Amino acid sequence: MTVPFLQVENLTKDFGGLRAVEDVSFTIDRNEVVGLIGPNGAGKTTLIRLLMNILKPTAGKVTLKGEDITGQKTAKIVNKGMASTFQVVKPFRHLPVAANVMVACLSPKTKRKGEWVKTVELRALDALEFCGIADLALEPASVLSHGDLKRLELARAIATEPELLLLDEPFGGLSPAETTLVAGSLRRLHKGGRFGRLHSEGPAMLIVEHKLSELMKIVDRVIVINFGKVIAIDVPGNVVKNKDVIEAYIGKGGK
């Protein structure tokens, strides 16, 4: 039997009396791009934070490449090949853009290689170039526009050369033109090849997005959650026709 690349089992998170994520189970294969959608407050960001152990689950299990990573330190999880971007971008505003990316890859794994400074610099520049902001490498992050900050956030995550990349609203606040550009970058990244010295294969992806028409073009499958619970897991063509999904978005009796 083959082991799923990522396996999430019965993941649950309570904030006091609020169950933000309830009994969520799914798997992601090594070569998949999966969407994670649901109305505002459904628990998408919480779920990503649980996977990275930025938040500790109340119950449930996360297995990456057959290894139980539940409760492991976030830096260790990044070393094992899973990285994420955040919905709210918070760079070190006074540090240069390149330094912001380098900080993201200063893991013990890279240091053990000996030439870690050079490796980290190269990775950072590769990532910035891939995201189209290499010309801003020496600028402080504080001068970046919202669109460029979103690209910096993507660069930070891909510089760690993940095998599975979790993206929380990569198109959030972007213009239609910027959205198309970033969607193209994600497709190229997934295909692999040009970017990444260590992995010739691009990463698998779990993408949270409200811009559904753009998202549906790049995903193989979609997970839909509502009030913390999975209500559908299916291919895009079926998800958009699913009665429970339509009801979650429009509401019972909605027009």
For Mg ion, which stretch binds (CB under 5 A), given 40-48, 123-131, 132-140, 217-225? 40-48
Among 45, 53, 84, 100, binds Mg ion (CB under 5 A): 45
- Under the binding rule (CB under 6 A), the answer on residue 57 touching ligand ATP is no
Of 152, 162, 155, 156, the closest CA to residue 28 belongs to 162
| Bridge pairing between strands 6-15 and 33-37 | unpaired
- DSSP E strand boundaries for 29-158: 33-37, 59-64, 67-68, 82-84
For ligand ATP, which stretch binds (CB under 6 A), given 13-21, 69-77, 91-99, 235-243? 13-21
Of 34, 22, 12, the closest CA to residue 223 belongs to 34
Touching ligand ATP, residues 80-119 (CB under 6 A): 87
Contact string (CB under 6 A) for ligand ATP, positions 178-217, x = contact: ----------------------------------------
Query: Which of 70, 85 has the CB closer to Mg ion?
Result: 85
Q: Using alpha carbons only, give the angle 13, 11, 163 rounded to the nearest 5 degrees.
A: 115
Query: Which amino acid is present at 110?
Result: T
Of 248, 172, 159, 170, the closest CA to residue 207 belongs to 170
Contact string (CB under 6 A) for ligand ATP, positions 15-54, x = contact: x--x-x-----------------x-xxxxxxx--------
